[in-house]
Amino acid sequence: MTAFWAERAWLGDAVVSGVRITASAAGLISDIETGTTANGADERLAGVVLPGAINAHSHAFHRLLRGRTHGDGGSFWTWRELMYRESARLDPASYERIATAVYAEMVAAGWTSVAEFHYVHHAPDTRPYDPPHAMERALARAAQAAGIRLTLVDTCYLSSGFGSPLEPAQRRFGDGDAGAWLARLSSLRSQFAEEHPEVVVGAAVHSVRAVPVDALERIGAELDPGVPLHVHLSEQPGENEACLAATGLTPTALLARSGLVSPRLSAVHATHLTDDDIAVLGAAAATIVICPTTEADLGDGVGPARRLSDAGARIALGTDQHAVVDPLLEARALEHGERLASGRRGRFAPAELVAALSRGGADAVGRRIGALAVGQPCDLIVVAADSARTAGSEPVQIVLSATAQDVDRVIIGGRGRAAGGVHSDLGPLGDLWRKAVLA
């Protein structure tokens, strides 16, 4: 067992002083004591200890686009063409290098779990890899090397738009039809149960424009109800307009009619919703994954996160394209987006921001994690309270002043994985990225 003594730690919805957290040999929290003083056997954690952050939406290879898509302005749709170009270059070896680097970057920043929304399934010539699931295995190895908890969200991607086949750049993403995707998902889950039991395998329909109506209905009828389900939802007004023209329904209403809106659903972005959409998602207690820095980077708009939360939905956070890999900045951007849209401060209280960073994403990754509580994994991030950014901050408000630069230590499963922005096993992040992109 290992005992960590925290000057202050976030327990429930409050910051508590003098907290001893004991981790079992299995990496679970076996005991929590409050109001204690440190003893010689404790590993001391200065600052404020938060639960490990859950990154509920990631596309690992999108990290390659950072700092390379801004020269000519453009839109989400022009950015997407550059993304397709990068996806065409991927093979299992390069994907593993890139994912290892981005997962290590996440860990050093304080993300301890990630949901990887994965759709680059097949070889560039569209043939399945032999042996099968080579790209998925690459992601599993990358997560294992970085020490992050991985939920592999395998994605159904069948069309380029309503009534349109896949474009050439998209063909390696597709499986032909819903039946073939369901069969491949079943094979993947069986194989990972044997080879990578530490990985949770979830599912996704990429978006309503990328999965035909009959396929949505079949997936709604046949997908194992215990599997976490994700979808890009109403990210762009154009998607809503096309869905209404093709079906007479909004994307949310179409998903609901197909049996896909339930507590297991994680709707990513959910930026452009009607009042009825918000009511449907809230009544279902769906998870809404807001990706504030990506939505700002792409000019997507500010979604109705406060209204969704008030309606009953759970709010989680993701880094999506990794323009920024910083859980504290994502949390702050969630609140800042609400302030800009409403003209009011304090739309999300600090406790709600910490919840969005942690337990809000638990269902999205299909794990019982996200809180400092007995029986949960000992996943901790230690935020310095005396840096140039945080000195003088009230501990309960440190989520509004700190950045990933203030994350002194990251502990996953009771084991130190990063300190001072350096990964404990993989070393400095700059070196790791240079190797990943230049190899």
Report how far residue 230's alpha carbon sits from residue 225's, in angstroms, rounded to the nearest whole number: 13
Report how far residue 181's alpha carbon sits from residue 222's, in angstroms, rounded to the nearest whole number: 11
Non-local (6+) Cβ contacts of 316 within 8 A are 54, 56, 266, 287, 288, 289, 290, 356, 360, 361, 364
Percent of the chain with pLDDT over 70: 100
Q: What's the number of CA atoms in the CB half-sphere (13 Å) around residue 5?
A: 11
Per the prediction, the chain carries an average pLDDT of: 97
In a domain, 367, yes or no: no
Q: Does residue 343 sit in the same domain as residue 286?
A: yes
Q: What is the mean pLDDT of residues 337-352?
A: 97
List, for residues 265-310, the tens digit of each pLDDT value. Answer: 999 999 999 999 999 999 999 999 999 999 999 999 999 999 999 9
Backbone angles phi, psi at 231, to 5 degrees: -160, 140
Of the ranges 64-73, 78-87, 141-150, the best mean pLDDT one: 141-150
| pTM of the entire predicted model | 0.98
Q: Does residue 390 sit in the same domain as residue 348?
A: no
Q: Does residue 383 sit in the same domain as residue 320?
A: no
CB atoms within 10 A of CB 75: 12
Q: Does residue 124 sit in the same domain as residue 224?
A: yes
Please state whether the peptide bond connecting residue 132 to the residue before it is cis, i.e. omega within 30 degrees of 0.
no
Is residue 73 over pLDDT 90? no
Check which CATH number belongs to the domain holding 419 and give it: 2.30.40.10
Q: Does residue 140 sit in the same domain as residue 59?
A: yes
pLDDT band, very low/low/confident/very high, at 439 (cuts 50, 70, 90) = low
Q: Does residue 294 sit in the same domain as residue 401?
A: no
List, for residues 321-332, the tens digit of each pLDDT value. Answer: 999 999 999 999
Report how far residue 290's alpha carbon sits from residue 305's, in angstroms, rounded to the nearest whole number: 8
In a domain, 366, yes or no: no
Report how far residue 72's alpha carbon sits from residue 27's, in angstroms, rounded to the nearest whole number: 48
pLDDT band, very low/low/confident/very high, at 435 (cuts 50, 70, 90) = confident
How many domains is the chain partitioned into structurally?
2
List, for residues 192-238, the tens digit of each pLDDT value. Answer: 999 999 999 999 999 999 999 999 999 999 999 999 999 999 999 99
Report how far residue 150's alpha carbon sits from residue 147's, in angstroms, rounded to the nearest whole number: 9
Q: Does residue 309 sit in the same domain as residue 396?
A: no
Q: Does residue 41 sit in the same domain as residue 58?
A: no
Q: Which two tokens stand for residue 366?
A: 């299909």
In a domain, 352, yes or no: yes
Name the domain boundary from 333, 361, 389.
361
> Is-catalytic flag, 62?
no
Contact 65, 86 (CB under 8 A): yes
Q: Does residue 70 sit in the same domain as residue 15?
A: no
> Is-catalytic flag, 269?
yes
In a domain, 189, yes or no: yes
Contact 60, 139 (CB under 8 A): yes
Is residue 438 over pLDDT 80? no
Q: Does residue 379 sit in the same domain as residue 407?
A: yes
Number of H helices, E strands in the chain: 14, 16
pLDDT of residue 85: 94
pLDDT of residue 74: 81
In a domain, 265, yes or no: yes
Name the domain boundary from 317, 336, 361.
361
Contact 271, 295 (CB under 8 A): yes
Cα Rg, the chain, nearest whole Å: 21
List, for residues 151-193, the tens digit of each pLDDT value. Answer: 999 999 999 999 999 999 999 999 999 999 999 999 999 999 9
pLDDT of residue 437: 83
Name the domain boundary from 334, 361, 388.
361
Check which CATH number belongs to the domain holding 132 and give it: 3.20.20.140
59, 121, 196, 269: the active-site residue: 269
Among 58-72, 158-172, 357-371, the range scoring the smallest mean pLDDT is 58-72
Q: Which two tokens stand for residue 101?
A: 């680097």
320, 326, 406, 408: the active-site residue: 320
Range of the structural domain that residue 98 is part of: 53-361
Nearest to 273 by CA among 311, 330, 323, 245: 311
Q: Does residue 108 sit in the same domain as residue 240?
A: yes
